[in-house]
Chains A and B, each alone.
Chain A
Amino acid sequence: MHNKTLAELSHALHQREYSSVELTRYFLERIERLDTQINSFISVTAEMALAQAQAADQRLQSGNASPLTGIPIAHKDIFCTEGVKTSCGSKMLDNFIAPYNATVVEKCHTAGLVMLGKTNMDEFAMGSSNETSFYGPVKNPWDTQAVPGGSSGGAVAAVAARLAPVATGTDTGGSIRQPAALCGITGLKPTYGLVSRYGMIAFASSLDQGGPIGDNAKDVALLLNVIAGFDERDSTSLNHPQEDYTAHLNDSIAGLKIGLPKEFFGEGLNAEVGKIVEAAIKELEQAGATLHEIELPHTHLSVPVYYIIAPAECSSNLSRYDGVRFGHRCENPQDLLDLYKRSRAQGFGAEVKRRIMIGTYALSAGYYDAYYLKAQQIRRLISNDFTDAFKQVDVILGPTSPTTAFKIGEKVNDPISMYLSDINTISVNLAGLPGLSIPAGFVNQRPVGLQLIGNYLNEARLLNVAHQYQQRTDWHRQNPPKFL
């Protein structure tokens, strides 16, 4: 059952070939048996899952089921889930039982999806390797010595190891696409504002975006159908009419103009990874797409800009963790200042503290213009680069990550080298565009991802291109040997 696509699972459930309860038990058993190898879950909510599965079976029986009713899903532990620990990968929230559901979670519940549990992640989504989690690193199912990428490393690893058919993730600088690439699965970061941020614990509000993670483009489209949509509780939510993202999957891509930014293929790109991307480009060319060299001249500045804007926003977003209303509180605080300082020092890990401090500095009196304002200005230039590019091409393509998965521990003490692993994904968040990563091959048994970037609200087009590619290739059908 774990190798079936969502469409196949849905068909089987609707035909009563097996029940949602059986399917749910099946995945719970896989998690129980296999997750010790990769540590992809923080919480497994078996009891709740079986209750939801039972309800789903009733809906299936009574004929008022939606396409994904009864399908198990794993939520990144950044989404608030009522009555369930929502830790955001942090000691700070290790004791936090969310009192409400995130809009994304609510939409999944309404559609009848069955929550298996909450997936591991970099603490407060700050990391590219899943090593900053309070709950220990997640391991890459293809090589358990290697990182799965981050910050949605748990969600991605769980789907890659087929411990869950689909999952939700969030992407602030590449947190869905980079791990999807490193673990060989399909992950989409939608246009900023397409998926509600309500109940999604904020890291950097102007960059954060939730999105679907799955085995293939069609699965991702099916889940996007459920989680996308306007939310009156989120001021930045787009009032965009509901689309069926599966509608155009089978469209031909003949005549599609693909832009290849030379900045994505330059220095820093691993040669083997480059070859795989070249092969994928050929494949799309054979399917009728035309190739165009383009320029995104400010790409090299996206990492420094990001490492001002994201920490600035996070330094403020994370001020609410003060040991007063929820979360970790230090023992025997001497006074208020001591309560704040020790609770926060104990509750946050090193990377989170680093970013809070960088952000605090960048916003502080005398430095605001030189750092924050400057970064916002360059952000505009980066965004303009894309606007210009989309005047010439339909989609932009390149490697999701310049390398394959690196070894656990390899970059822990070198934050900047870690930051640079997101060089190809960050600019997409800065501009607020949709980006998709799909598997395109392997280098030494480690997956390589291909990134497709679209213009605003062009998710359907990206999924169409990905689906057409996946019709011609079977990289997405490969499973890690230990999780067959």
Chain B
Amino acid sequence: MAWEVVIGLEIHAQLATNSKIFSGASTAYGAPPNTQACAVDLGLPGVLPVLNEKVVRMAAKFGLAIGAPVAPRSVFARKNYFYPDLPKGYQISQYELPIVNKGQIQIEIDGKEKTIGITRAHLEEDAGKSLHEDFQGLSGIDLNRTGTPLLEIVSEPDMRSPKEAIAYMKKIHSLVRYLDICDGNMQEGSFRCDANVSVRPQGQKEFGTRSELKNLNSFRFVERAINIEIERQIDLLESGGTVRQETRLYDADKNETRPMRSKEEANDYRYFPDPDLLPLLIESEFLEQIKAELPELPDDKKQRFIQQYGLSLYDASGLTSSRELADYFEEIVKLSNSDAKLCANWVMGDLAALLNKNNLEITDSKVSTIQLAAMLRRISDKTISGKIAKQVFEAMWNGEGDADTIIEKRGLKQVTDTGAIEKLIDEVIVNNPKQLQDYRDGKEKLFGFFVGQVMKVSKGKANPKQVNELLKKKLEG
């Protein structure tokens, strides 16, 4: 039977504030355990929450960016359950009245655009962490993360493959970074995701029973976890079993999902409005002010890149996948005064490959925009060929200096002097009499051989266009 996969994602984006959502404790990552858990975070008797203004701004920014109505009135509610990393025995979240309502976002799959619905986004506080290293058979609780502001972004079950899920997740990742509301650091848990996954026979209207996958803290894990969960569900259904609605934990080491013991019993969260917090009102003036502060959004930027620089949808999407990458690209276009397509090729090609290989972000690039622009200028003014440029680029990456220095030091300057090239061609013709004869007898395929030989003796430095022209003349005799 053919199965259709249905995926919805709940993304938790940690908002990049200095202090926590309801307390004045620092949100800095990596502090010694419990040194950033203040009285409010610990839920000491008598303490009270006060909402951080910045998180409201950030959530409103997100709402505006996905074209969703930002609620003029939203309410914080308590989600009640007992867990050692939840000091108060309830999590302050938003339930019936979230700050951001229905919106949508475009993703690209195989060059085609697809719209993914966003059901809602709401503010909530993060929980602490249970550490499972053994303390005489006990667990240790670190509450530093408690109270860190989160924006939970809930999608519609609109995705039909793990690939779409990843595309969506990357799009949201890029958006929150564009908006400067989340650092997107997945290793530190600033951007995490739960996936609701189900399968149904192709053509069936009703959704199948879903499982909720937790602990997906990298794009790779999301893809792998969804894939094996799909397999598990299909195997189960095809062997006559049924899928249970349950929460499953992804174990990256074993690459498997298993039911979460702590979620085995059906929860009754007893949501009710938090009496310690009053309704949050957002006035239209406040929204206007935030609107004015919004940066150019990825989709707008993408359209502009296509129009302004004549780039393909593919290049434009890639270059606008992060604000920093887009800025990098635009800067080298400006600095190098070169063809935008050439710039795009270098950023998306050699630079992206090296970044990828070294697991670096564009902001960590070892080649600065100034350096890359200078090199591109040398391609444009024919000092070096595109092929030689690859060498120069690698040398720059390895810290050997600027393009001009490397070209100079390694003697990579392109040979454009007609006389010098003719000399090289003569040398090649003299050394290959048989090939010359064959060519002249009509074996025109051998033209490529001669080009290759000339380039070889020039150590790649001869201007290829000139080599072609001059060689043609000489061979014809």
- Partner-B contacts on A (CB < 8 A): 79-80, 86, 88, 93, 96, 98-100, 102, 197-202, 204-206, 232-236, 312-313, 315-316, 318-320, 322, 324-326, 336, 340, 360, 363-365, 368, 372
Contact = CB atoms under 8 A, between A and B. Distances in A.
B257 to A, nearest CB: 23
B89 A93 contact: no
Nearest to A341: B82
Interface in B29-53: 39, 42-51
B233 to A, nearest CB: 27
Contacts of A199: 46-47
Contact of B46 (A202, A313, A316, A318): A202
Interface in B262-276: 268, 270-272, 275-276
Nearest to A359: B270
B149 interface: no
Given A235-B277, A316-B80, 16 more contacts: A79-B46, A80-B45, A88-B45, A99-B39, A198-B46, A198-B48, A199-B47, A234-B50, A235-B278, A316-B270, A316-B272, A320-B45, A322-B84, A325-B42, A363-B80, A368-B272
B43 to A, nearest CB: 4
Nearest to B42: A325
Contact of B270 (A99, A234, A364): A364
B129 interface: no
Interface in B1-54: 39, 42-51
A235 B50 contact: yes
A232 B50 contact: yes
A316 B78 contact: yes
A351 B299 CA distance: 59
B51 A235 contact: yes
A340 B89 CA distance: 11
A326 B49 CA distance: 19
A199 B46 CA distance: 4
The interface centre, meaning the residue of B78, B87, B272 with most chain A CB atoms within 10 A of its CB, is: B272
A325 B43 contact: yes
Interface residues of B, number: 28
25 contacts: A99-B39, A100-B39, A102-B46, A198-B46, A202-B45, A206-B275, A233-B48, A234-B48, A236-B48, A236-B275, A236-B276, A315-B270, A316-B89, A318-B89, A319-B80, A320-B43, A320-B89, A322-B84, A324-B84, A325-B42, A340-B82, A363-B80, A363-B271, A365-B268, A368-B272
B89 A326 contact: no
Contacts of A206: 275
A204 B88 CA distance: 15
B141 interface: yes
A288 B87 CA distance: 56
Interface in B345-404: none
Contact of A313 (B44, B82, B271, B275): B275
Contacts of B89: 316, 318-320, 322
Contacts of A80: 44-46
